[in-house]
A and B are shown apart, each in its own frame.
Chain A
Amino acid sequence: MSQVSRPLSPHLQVYRWQISNTLSILHRLTGVALAFGGLALVAWLLALASGQAAFTGANALLGSLVGQLALVGWTFCFFYHLCNGLRHLAWDAGHGFDREVARKSGIGVVVAAVLLTAVFWAVALTRVAA
């Protein structure tokens, strides 16, 4: 079969950027980031299984600046992927397809993800300080 270089859907050069496709791309990006988070979770469990020195080292790594940035990033990715995943499950069940509803649920997902991330870290930092 001869290869014809036709433009492929969704025609990124002519596609009007909007909330639905932005959130869809973000869902995938956060999913890939969380795959690395899963790697970190298993590494953390392996460190815990290996003994006190390994676990203290792992926690020191997570407590470094890079580690803290990664943890905050993973927390946001997690809450976003969770909320938007629930939105996807509602769609799978046939609910929320109206354009206006889908737009509002999209905004709601972003707001919820930011709020949940903020609450999580507020609680975490309060407990560290206490």
Chain B
Amino acid sequence: MSLRSPLGRALGLGAAGAGTEHWLGQRLSAVAMVPLTLWFASSLLTLPSLDFYSVTAWAASPLHSVLLILLVVALVYHSSLGTQVVAEDYVHASGRRAIVLIVLRLLHVGLAVAGIFAVFLIATRAPL
């Protein structure tokens, strides 16, 4: 028998005994992306040109590289959580659902690594 009150045991735990991480992660990444996406969109509009040299010079500055990596991470994480819920809702057969969820998660991990590595390459390329 536990001496903890029923409320104390229930706080922070849903019916599954866990699971607030998904909900919180979705909101946290959403809040992070409000400034990040608006910065990215306004940067595209204000860059002197969208040719290779202007975009490289812009993306390679340390501040912009960090912001781009943060954008990629928040976006891919948010997308991973969101598409996971869509798959859980619409793919009913449990075997097929497991495969879809695994493929989605691996694709998102790959996407995040590719995005971060791309920004790293852009930032470390010889200064123009």
Contacts and interface: CB of A to CB of B under 8 A. Distances in A.
Contacts of A89: 27, 30-31
Contact of A38 (B56, B59, B76, B122): B76
B15 interface: no
Given A56-B52, A89-B27, A39 B45 contact: no
B100 interface: no
A42 B41 contact: no
Interface string B3-29: 000000000000000000000000100
Given A38-B79, A82-B34, A120-B41, A45 B86 contact: no
A4 interface: no
Interface of B: 27, 30-31, 34, 37, 41, 44-45, 50-52, 55-56, 59, 68, 72, 75-76, 79, 82-83, 86, 111, 114-115, 117-119, 121-122, 125
Interface of A: 28, 31-32, 34-35, 38-39, 41-42, 45-46, 48-49, 51-52, 55-56, 59, 78, 82, 85-86, 88-89, 92, 120, 123-124, 127
10 contacts: A31-B82, A35-B79, A38-B76, A45-B68, A45-B72, A49-B119, A59-B51, A78-B37, A78-B41, A120-B41
